[in-house]
A and B are shown apart, each in its own frame.
Chain A
Amino acid sequence: MTAVDTVRHVIDKHGKLKADVANLAEDADLYAAGMTSNASVNVMLAVEDAFDIEFPDELLSKCTFTSIGSICSAVKGLLEAAA
């Protein structure tokens, strides 16, 4: 499973979106698709579990969790920093 697939799986499970996550564009606005702040925190925690990472405070913003692409980008940065 690629990182994008993993993030999609997590959003599907915890994002509580009305839209079909499988068909959502990588740059689609998750908040506009119905994700609440609570759901985005559930997504954040599940992404941390899936990749064994921890989002630092400076990444705890709506921008980080606004799309599949932005989450993947943040994950990539954290994984590279840890390598």
Chain B
Amino acid sequence: MMLDTWFGDPESPNLGFLHLPDDREVVGGVVICPPLGYDQVLGYRALRFVGQELAAQGIAALRFDYVGEGDSAGQSGTAQAPELWMSSVARAAAYLRDSGIDNVALLSLGAGALIANEAALTVDATALVHWDPELSGRRFLRRQRALFELTVGHDGPTDPSALLSLTLHPDAAAWLRTREITAATLPVGMDALIVGRRAYDENPATLRLTSNLPPRAEYRSVVGQEELLDVPGTLAVLPEETIAGMSEWLLERFPRASVPARPLVNGRAVVGHTSDGTPIVEKLLRIGPDRLFVITTSREDDNESGVVVQQPGAAEHRVGPGRFQVLAARELAERGYRAVRFDRRVTGDTTEVRPGEPNFIFANEWVDDTDRLIAELGIGEDVAHAGLCAGGWVAARMAERRPARLTVMFSPNYFKTAPLRAGEYSVLTQSSREGTRKFIGLKRRIRGILPGWAWPILGRLQLFHDPAILLGASTRDRNSTVAVLLTPEDEENFRAHRGPDAVARLINRGADIRVTSYAYGDHSLFGAEVRTTMLTDLLSLVDEKLTRSVTPTRSRL
């Protein structure tokens, strides 16, 4: 079983997920310390699988977001971030102990190791596992910086030292830069297991660690990490053998006698206050037969205002760059709206992780999930759907099913209404990477020479991505506005598919479509500046179209 709960300091609560065996009898507990940056996105479901596996062994496992990250309270990028990371680990350990579980171990992934390594002694951990750890904070920062330059390259005019998916204050970066995991920095007097990549066996940092391991530390070299963390999330493969090995190692560190876990579950938290002092409240819900995980955000006194339903991109969750969805929700509440964010099936904390599970990117299942969400929450016409890429496609498809005042599509690039089958997007991604995707070259050549009259026909047959098909379907309701927000690469794609012509035709027929192109930014919104710009534009659109409960006195943006 998995319990969703807020925990920690009521002034800045952490969101956590507690995995337990069904009988709640456990031999110990494990605090799972998540990585930082894009590894959070890629590792999210894998760490949930770790939690499931530990619970199956009779071990409680608590996953959580650090304060200032993911769905937890707090701002990202503050100078206090290292203290907040460390105190979040301490709060997670305290939560397990308050639940009656005295023996608590830590398990970290990636850069989470730099935090867990420091926190282990403070929280008096029983044992410590570093899974694919970042052994050097300096190297972690170098990696994030290089990844940013190689994948984004340029993100607006004011951020020359941006990192991929991570906003760090210089003081927090300085803290990380001086952190290392070596034989000398491993916690003394504690069993420790370091599970490293085989490809790193000869790295200087690995050799410094393995050549002088303390007596109670063990190093395991494994394969399969690259297939989890160095590929697009849609192609990730769970290293089941490695996870089983860590789980067994941890089981041996706990006493055999079990104790009953008695956790306090809290589904409501105050995550901030408006400028007039009204609490901003977030509630955790489970909806429908798939028990979709939902978080609602609103002012404490608000039950009437318009609702913004947020959809992340790809099969992602609200960590890393996806955290802008959390900031958007809280800013919307500050301005007098309600916001709903949720995990669609096979993402984040909805549906149990099954190795090899297919995703539903551009498939009808996620539209069905959103439809059920709207029905179960009783959301009426005063609603906006806003989503990134595949989430934007779901948002647009929802406008076909139910009335919506506003649809906002960040970085759209799929304009067919015909859905993909479950898992089909991963197959297409893989074939694109291998250069074996059929008809792509031919389609590109035809696309450039097709006469204007033929384009809509082939678009209606769903042979080409004609934006008129998706945008036309979502603007049939004349009270509805559709906003298309394009980064440079998305604009290029939009133009290649004759998007401007499609928009002009639809506007002539009375549709309200707004297209905004940005001079910088990347499709996935890894860059912080483009995220902020798009968020500002979302808020303006919502202000124009939805009803709000109050008039705000200031904005945090």
Q: Interface of A with B (CB < 8 Å)?
A: 13-14, 16, 18, 32, 34, 36-42, 44-46, 48-49, 54-55, 57, 60-62, 65
List 23 contacting pairs A-B, 8 Å CB cutoff, sorted by A: A13-B199, A16-B226, A37-B151, A38-B147, A38-B226, A38-B230, A39-B226, A39-B230, A40-B150, A41-B143, A41-B147, A42-B199, A44-B146, A45-B139, A45-B142, A45-B143, A49-B203, A54-B142, A57-B145, A57-B149, A60-B145, A60-B150, A61-B150
Smallest CB-CB A-B distances: 5 pairs:
A60-B149, A38-B230, A41-B146, A37-B150, A37-B151
* Bound CA–CA A7/B120 (angstroms): 38
B residues near A (Cβ < 8 Å) are 139, 142-143, 145-147, 149-151, 153, 160-161, 199, 203-204, 226, 229-231, 433-435
Bound Cα distance from A62 to B203, whole angstroms: 23
Pick the residue among A13, A16, A48, A61 that contacts B230 (CB under 8 A): A16
A40 CA / B231 CA spacing, docked (Å):
12
Question: What's the nearest-Cβ distance from chain A to residue B211, in Å?
Answer: 15
Closest to B201 in A: A13
A60 x B203 contact (CB < 8 A): no
Q: A34-B434, A45-B139, A45-B142 are in contact. Are A62 and B150 (CB under 8 A)?
A: yes
Residue of B whose beta carbon sits closest to that of A48: B142
Known contacts A34-B434, A46-B203, A57-B145; A41 and B150 CB within 8 A of each other: yes
B42's nearest neighbour on chain A, judged by CB, is A38
Q: Can you name the residue of chain B whose Cβ is closest to the Cβ of A14?
A: B199
- Asked if residues B139 and A61 are in contact (CB atoms below 8 Å), the reply is no
Chain B residues positioned under 8 Å from A41 (CB to CB): 143, 146-147, 150
Whether B231 pairs with A61 at a CB distance below 8 angstroms is no
Rounded to whole Å, the gap between the CB of A6 and the closest CB of chain B is: 12
Contacts of A54 in B (CB 8 A): 142
* Chain B residues, CB < 8 A from A57: 145, 149, 160-161
Measured between C-beta atoms, what is the minimum distance from B461 to chain A in Å?
32
Contacting residues, chain A, for B153 (C-beta < 8 A): 61
- Whether A36 touches B149, Cβ cut-off 8 Å, given contacts A45-B139, A45-B143, A46-B203, is no
Question: Is there contact, CB below 8 Å, between B433 and A34?
Answer: yes
Name the residue among A34, A40, A45, A54 with the largest chain B CB count within 10 angstroms. Answer: A45
User: Assuming the A-B contacts A57-B145, A57-B149, A60-B150, are A42 and B230 also in contact, with contact meaning beta carbons closer than 8 angstroms in the complex?
Assistant: yes
Q: Please, which residue of chain A has its CB at the minimum distance from the CB of B232?
A: A36
User: Which residues of chain B are within 8 angstroms of A39 by Cβ–Cβ distance?
Assistant: 226, 230
* Docked pose: A32 CA to B433 CA in angstroms: 9
Q: In the bound complex, how far is the Cα of B144 from the Cα of A37, in angstroms?
A: 11
* With A16-B226, A34-B433, A36-B230 as contacts: A60 and B199 at CB distance below 8 Å: no
Q: What's the minimum C-beta distance from A66 to chain B, rounded to whole angstroms?
A: 11
Shortest B236–chain A CB gap in Å is 12
Given A45-B146, A60-B149, 8 new contacts (CB under 8 A): A13-B199, A14-B199, A39-B230, A45-B143, A54-B142, A57-B145, A61-B150, A61-B153
- Residues in A with CB closer than 8 Å to B434 are 18, 34
Q: Residue A49 contacts which of B146, B161, B204 (CB distance < 8 angstroms)? A: B204
Chain B nearest CB: distance from A59 CB in Å? 9
Q: What residues on A are CB-neighbors of B160 within 8 Å?
A: 57
Smallest Cβ-Cβ distance to A57: which chain B residue: B149
How long is the Cα–Cα vector from A66 to B556 in the complex, in angstroms?
42
Q: Distance in Å from the Cβ of A37 to the closest Cβ of chain B?
A: 5
Name which residue of chain A comes closest to B198, CB basis: A13
Shortest C-beta distance, B489 to chain A (Å), equals: 14
Between B150, B151, B226, B434, the greatest number of chain A beta carbons within 10 A of the residue's beta carbon is seen for: B150
